[in-house]
């Protein structure tokens, strides 16, 4: 991806929320993102830099579910329809929450198996959201 002329940044791995926040902070401050983990980027001269893939949280409690934000937006805007997550949600109002990243299995069915996570993101064991966080 980074070799495309229109691409300047690529975040690698399965947990890019915090590296993305750090990248946005660097851009806002006009600094080169030399210390943003999991980032491949081009400098002003077009040279490609590959930062260490070192950000890999051991749990998912840092990832917001989005439910609170959705409820706040509906109340603020007094508009439920604009915020429904998918067509026909009012007929079947369910929500999904991310509970795990990674896998312990080695099946050939998907690219999200243990081998895939190890190769693509360096994750060697699953990261779970705590039961308390899921229940909120």
30 in any annotated domain: yes
Q: Label residue 10 by pLDDT band (50, 70, 90).
A: very high
58 in any annotated domain: no
56 in any annotated domain: no
Q: What is the pLDDT of residues 101-134, one digit of tens each?
A: 888 888 877 767 888 888 888 888 888 988 888 8
33 touches 55 (CB < 8 A): no
What is the C-alpha separation between 58 and 61, in angstroms, rounded?
9
Q: What is the pLDDT of residues 22-78, one digit of tens each?
A: 999 999 999 999 999 999 999 999 999 999 999 988 888 888 776 778 888 999 999
- Straight-line distance from the first to the last Cα atom of the chain, in angstroms, rounded to the nearest whole number: 38
Same domain, 73 and 31: no
User: Domain total for the chain?
Assistant: 2
Q: What domain range includes position 122?
A: 67-135
Same domain, 71 and 46: no
pLDDT: is 6 or 94 the higher one?
Answer: 6
């Amino acid at each position: 991806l980074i070799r495309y002329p229109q691409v300047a940044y690529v975040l690698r791995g399965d947990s890019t929320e915090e590296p993305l926040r750090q990248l946005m902070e660097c851009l806002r401050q006009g600094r080169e993102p030399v210390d943003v983990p999991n980032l491949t980027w081009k400098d002003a001269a077009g040279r490609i830099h590959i930062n260490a893939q070192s950000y890999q949280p051991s749990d998912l409690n840092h990832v917001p579910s989005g439910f609170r934000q959705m409820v706040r937006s509906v109340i603020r805007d007094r508009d439920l329809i604009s915020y429904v997550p998918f067509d026909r949600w009012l007929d079947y109002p369910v929500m999904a929450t991310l509970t795990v990243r990674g896998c312990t299995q080695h099946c050939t069915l998907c690219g999200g198996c243990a081998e895939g996570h190890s190769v693509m993101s360096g994750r060697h064991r699953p990261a779970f959201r705590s039961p308390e966080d899921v229940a909120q």
